[in-house]
Structure 1
Amino acid sequence: MNKHIGLALVIGLATSGLAAADHEGDRYRDDRQQFFAEGRVVQVEPVYETYYYREHSNRGNSDHRYEICRTRDVEVSRSHRSGNPAATLIGGAVGATVGSHSGRTPESQVFGAIAGGIIGGAIGHELGGRGETTVRYRTERECEVEYRHRRSDLVGYEVRYRYNGREFMTFMDRHPGRYVELAVEVTPR
């Protein structure tokens, strides 16, 4: 029986030593440390949320009347005037005449007249104009009157503060005063 007690004692001591060593490793795994400090407030800006709503009753000075108008251009008429067809014909005739005198053989004179007529007609068409489209517009204006109220609610503060030589920014639901209380956490790299 003493052998069993001795064996149990040896196994127990060995296991507790391993557990203690493992526990010792846990102590350094989470090496974060936290402390509290104050940051100096540099700037505080109130933040408002604005609501617009309509009210149909007239209660004197609290109603604000707004006239909302929109303008738009509406097409009234459209007309198209084509270019001068005589310019195309005259350009083609001049080109054909010039082209017919460019060759020495009768075949080259015919080809020159055809090419000259096509080129002259294209130049005449360009000079005579392609035509133009004229569009007339009328400006229409639509207006409607609205009675609107405005309500602004303070929802918090944008706070800029300085800590340890650096500036930070946060949003707070109350005015912080001159200092902001900070929870600083330090963790080694």
Structure 2
Amino acid sequence: MKTLIMIAAAAENDALGKDNDLLWHLPDDFKRFKRLTTGHKIIMGRKTFESFPKPLPNRTHIIITRDKNYTTDFKDCIIVHTIEQAIDLVANEIAFIIGGGEIYALAEKFADKIELTRVHANFDEADTFFPEIDESLWMLSVQEFHPADERHKYAFTYLTYTRRNPSFNV
């Protein structure tokens, strides 16, 4: 059975980043992202893929781009041109949507779960945003607060949302 999970870190104002980069550094969130996504397929837009110095280890990257001539020489990377093509490649497994903002917006109707790290700050300078979570569609099932500390400038909360009525999932 397919399980499609959107995973992101977003500020209180749903900011994700600016100029294809994050606006904060949360080492524990990076560790959680790695722990959850390792060994799975990860679906992302081209700009998100290009923001990495190299592909993330132990994950198959499915890259969505409108550019029909786009290629990469990295192994474990698959190029597709629609969200539907990406989802077709994860028919019977767990996969993660990892961004960016446009891809999250396209993928939400297909997702079964959201793993969101809510960064307790606002970033007005952001140029990319996570879609607003419609609580009539999504139910908060787990939350775990982490205060700011010497390694984390901002407090944050891990939030897990599950779809309220999975039968409506496309």
Task: Please state which band the TM-score falls in when normalised by the shorter chain.
Answer: under 0.3
- Of Structure 1 and Structure 2, the greater helix share is in 1
- Of Structure 1 and Structure 2, the greater strand share is in 1
Give the number of the structure whose alpha-carbon radius of gyration is greater: 1
